[in-house]
Amino acid sequence: MMDTSTELSSTNQNNQGTKKIYGQSQSEISEELEKFHVPRKQNSMRTKQIWNWTYLGGVTEFSEIKNMPKELLNQLSKNYTLARNPIANEQKSNDGTIKWLVDLPSENNSTNNQIETVFIPEENRGTLCISSQIGCTLNCSFCHTGTQKLVRNLTAAEIVSQLLIAKDNLDDWHKNNPNNSRKITNVVMMGMGEPLYNFDAVKKALLIMTDCDGLALSKRRVTLSTSGIVPYIERVGNEIGVSLAVSLHAAKDEIRDILVPINKKYPLKELMKACESYPKIKNSSKITFEYVMLKDINDSLQDAKDLIKILSNIPSKINLIPFNPWPGSNYVCSDMRQIKEFAKVLSDAGFSSPIRRPRGQDILAACGQLKSETIRLRSKK
């Protein structure tokens, strides 16, 4: 539990709280209300009201809350805030994809304290791609984020904040869409960072996003993508219960060791064992395996057959991702003809194997292209 005595004194010069109320669990909010001497009988009602205004109403100031005593709202605003992290830059792709570069408070005066959040509109859904860390400790050789050192883990509030920021900007709050025609229908933890190396904050944030009294995203429509941090996979199923995606990219250790170096610590045999158990915990649904198509590296028809072999016991869908190049990358994307042949081998063996259409490439918002570069973007303005 956090030391609330120091948290409570976190007010700025205007006597306004700086601690985010979003990102707190309902029981943490309720504990705070006890300290504000809210009568015990009213505590759960007041907690629910704060929750509803925050996650259904989309309020950004406590004064917008209508059905709570002024005195309590004053107390809340002295200690807490609903303000979002500021947007440093917004870029719109010609395919409708939007990328927001979000400023976060820096530790140790680091200059690189930004993350990227991407909205991808499609015909029947809208997907928000959320970051879990600034940078990444892993350095998968084909990934742009992997070239950026880990600056720090995000807090639960900073993870939830990305969804709130996107909803603000897309005008996607419940009050504006009473028929529930929401624009953001899906969330994928596929932005910057390895979510399982920030497990506690990611778990807290995803449980808030899927809470049915608030943001109410369906757990089936929330996907956590991991490079394969085996010891946490079971915990994702048991404690969060969202859909799982695994960045596989190779069916043989020799190749995966190079593409996804964490494979040396958690080799394919262990990873596949964890994946085999996941659907049992989760009661049926398929695991998505991501497979980046790299010319002459992992794209032969023999590679496809090896893939079929290791996935034979796992209900799976294989997402084939054409490699998205970035400045300085050493790989080349496989030819589309080869990708299609590769996909056919998989589908002939009964696997669903869609080829992902690259989105937002012109604004470096596609898979693996994310890397906030404060200086580069500032100098472009």
Summarize as ranges the residues that interact with ligand SF4 (CB under 6 A). 136, 138-140, 143, 145-146, 193-194, 227, 247
Cα 206 to Cα 131: distance, rounded to the nearest angstrom = 12
Tell whether residue 339 is a contact of ligand SAH (CB under 6 A): no
Compute the least distance from the CB of residue 210 to ligand SAH, in Å: 19
Instruction: Count CA atoms closer than 13 A to 339's CA, side-chain side.
Output: 21
With CB under 6 A as the contact rule, the residue among 116, 290, 299, 303 that binds ligand SAH is 290
Cα 221 to Cα 227: distance, rounded to the nearest angstrom = 20
Cα 279 to Cα 287: distance, rounded to the nearest angstrom = 7
What does the block give as tokens for 23? 């990102």
For ligand SAH, give the closer residue by CB, 172 or 194: 194
| Type and span of the H or E element at 301 | helix 301-310
The stretch among 59-67, 157-165, 304-312, 318-326 that binds ligand SAH (CB under 6 A) is 318-326
Length of the chain: 381
Tell whether residue 143 is a contact of ligand SAH (CB under 6 A): yes
Tell whether residue 229 is a contact of ligand SAH (CB under 6 A): no
Sign of CA dihedral 142, 147, 149, 153: negative
Compute the least distance from the CB of residue 220 to ligand SF4, in Å: 22
* Cβ neighbours of residue 277 closer than 8 Å, sequence gap 6 or more: 233, 234, 237
With CB under 6 A as the contact rule, the residue among 93, 127, 155, 247 that binds ligand SAH is 247
Place of tokens 């659907």: 279
Does the annotation count 367 as an active-site position? yes
> What separation, in Å, do the N-terminal and C-terminal C-alpha atoms of the chain show?
42
Phi first, then psi: what are they for 380, rounded to 5°? Answer: -75, -25
For ligand SF4, give the closer residue by CB, 115 or 184: 115
Residue 372 identity (one-letter amino acid): S
The stretch among 68-76, 162-170, 274-282, 320-328 that binds ligand SAH (CB under 6 A) is 320-328
Compute the least distance from the CB of residue 367 to ligand SAH, in Å: 4
Catalytic residue among 140, 143, 333, 367: 367
With CB under 6 A as the contact rule, the residue among 62, 119, 199, 323 that binds ligand SAH is 323
Compute the least distance from the CB of residue 253 to ligand SF4, in Å: 17
Q: What 3-state class would DSSP assign to 289?
A: strand
Place of tokens 């590296």: 297
Compute the least distance from the CB of residue 139 to ligand SF4, in Å: 6
Footprint of ligand SAH (CB under 6 A): 140, 142-143, 190, 194, 225-227, 247, 290, 292, 321, 323-324, 367-368
Positions marked catalytic: 116, 367
